[in-house]
Amino acid sequence: MRAPVLSILFAVAAFALAVVSAYADDDDDTDEGARLDAIQRGVENGTVKPLSELKAIVAARFPGDIVRIEPRVRHGAFTYEFKVLQADGRLVELHMDARTGTILKTENE
């Protein structure tokens, strides 16, 4: 009797772990290589701005050193997460629409 209960508990725990893992990544299910390939195709066909243009927008609005850039796919749209270390030591995190260059969200500004 004890073995079936343990088997059921194990199965429930494994299912719960799978569900949590699936929702932990808020990007779509593509891997990083596929995401980068898709962004490159977007730049080539004009639907995504080149990274150099997006970096210029960030630098003009948030002076400092860009210390991290991370491509993302959110709700089917390409975005970048930038982290900028400003001269006063503050770290600013911002999310930018890769298609338009619009800054969608900032933190620690």
Let me know if residue 34 belongs to a domain: yes
- Concatenated DSSP letters of 14-72: HHHHHHHHHHH--S-S--HHHHHHHHHHHHHHTSS--HHHHHHHHHHHS-SEEEEEEEE
- Measured at the CA of 17, the angle between CA 35 and CA 22, to 5 degrees, comes to 25
Is residue 77 classed as helix, strand or coil in its secondary structure?
strand
pLDDT tens track for 5-59: 444 434 434 443 333 333 334 444 457 788 888 888 889 998 999 999 999 999 9
Domain count, the chain: 1
Would the pTM count as exceeding 0.95? no
- Full domain range(s) for residue 61: 27-107
The single-letter DSSP state of residue 89 is S
Let me know if residue 87 belongs to a domain: yes
Q: What is the CATH number of the domain that holds 97?
A: 3.10.450.40
pLDDT tens track for 97-108: 999 999 999 998
Let me know if residue 77 belongs to a domain: yes
